[in-house]
Structure 1
């Protein structure tokens, strides 16, 4: 499920929302990475109304403590842009993987070599289920120190120290290219070998297994629950949300969203710092009265 063509929105009055799928950074979270009281209340009210809430993010599972206190009994998150589904019920530090859609290490290495060829100066990091490992020269821009610093050939080798852990995604950084230009070059170079997207304001790409995206994993989870696209309301702000915003029956780009997300969504809401997700959830709940 990779199409970025908007389908006609189903009238809200005829298809009640059964699931809310929301991105985190730049969407549900404010810029200071907090969840506002209004948003916490809206999530709780949705749960009480029988609407399931999924957090759908590029973050790895270990960065999900920021919302663990606000899952209201649902406790599921799609992490790594669709590479993993994580059960948050255990609380901070006790998250459990329930689905993993890995990037085969040999494919990851092929992708890195293509990027080096088409965009010289690219440096990469490898995200496995329980740790982030960097190439020398990759900037320290993430929430944690790396566990291993080594060339990609060693990070992805069969004898790597963590070779028993699935690769969830590769992060590719370019120090000089325009972010959208880097994305265009990478997609042309990589083709169908892997999925390529971005969510950072810098030239940082996120590379997943072929066919893996927020949308494709959300689609799998919804099918398991008998939930149709028309019954889903989705929220996002960056190119890595485009497929999800396209797939959902109702979708909203934040007031602070990237133009690609705005084009993909069926509607817009207020910026993340003005509780745009809560604004729409309150409206959805009012429609039920």
Structure 2
């Protein structure tokens, strides 16, 4: 692990698999490092695939601004106030085209929808993730799209019952990559779909421009394919040791795993250098 000397004004970090321990918690060391970074004048922004509704447990660590970039760039949220500040939604027509393209090429696929009022899913979309059991609409995708129940969609999710995760991602991109941004972050065969041009990088770049922060002043951390664009955009980037092989190959600098407080280790050195 090395530190590239330069002025750092913003830390952009993924959550699950990167900043958080495998149980989804913030370790005492990481919490202290985040607080120290903020105290040193370094802004910390969580840039995550999580939907806004999954952000309450990390609210105490979010920093003075209170803002997180969620749903792979699809939503900018004031976590403390529970307020949607900005979104980059998938339109109903585009989403229907995605659903049809993926159904045609990948029989057995099932869909779920993250939107401003919560989430919804098809009957065949299995409940496996934390928070999936909250009250939500269950109906075929075409019905949910037609009646507007998922209007303002941050992210479309698709699961396949038999394919290996990276195989599913590649197949989904072949079938519908011309219609949207398709990536993944989960250990199961689930892909995450955003509007064309909407990634963690695109929304982070907009946030930094509003703050007057240049990309060379950003240090980013990630572990999965949905982090690749952000890691390529930031002036300095780190892959945690437990990252997906594609991320480890694409990012020159590595730090310790999430369970070994890899993000905190870098932050501590950055703060010491200041």
TM-score by length of 2: 0.95
Q: Does residue 105 of structure 1 match 2:97?
A: no
4+ aligned runs moved over 4 Å, structure 1: none
Q: Does residue 155 of structure 1 match 2:144?
A: yes
- Give how far 1:278 is off: 0.1
Unpaired segments ≥5 residues, structure 2: none
- Counterpart among 107, 123, 127 of residue 110 in structure 2: 123
1:87-132 CA-partner distances (Å, limit 9, x unpaired): 1233xxxx11111000001111110111111111111111111211
1:125-148 CA-partner distances (Å, limit 9, x unpaired): 111112111111110113132511
Q: What is the aligned residue count?
A: 270
1:253 and 1:265 in contact (8 A); partners too: yes
Inter-partner Cα distance in structure 1 for 2:80 and 2:8: 23
- Counterpart among 232, 239, 247 of residue 218 in structure 2: 232
1:146-190 CA-partner distances (Å, limit 9, x unpaired): 511110001111x24x35x41111100001011111111111111
1:62 and 1:130 in contact (8 A); partners too: no
- Give how far 1:47 is off: 0.4
Q: Does residue 204 of structure 1 match 2:190?
A: yes
Aligned twin of 2:35 = 44
Once the two structures are overlaid, the 10-residue window that deviates more, 240-249 or 263-272, is: 263-272
| Residues 255-274 of structure 1 aligned to structure 2 (within 5 Å) | 255-274=241-260
1:123 and 1:173 in contact (8 A); partners too: yes
Q: Does residue 169 of structure 1 match 2:155?
A: yes
1:133 and 1:149 in contact (8 A); partners too: yes
SS in structure 2 opposite 1:17? Answer: coil
TM-score by length of 1: 0.91
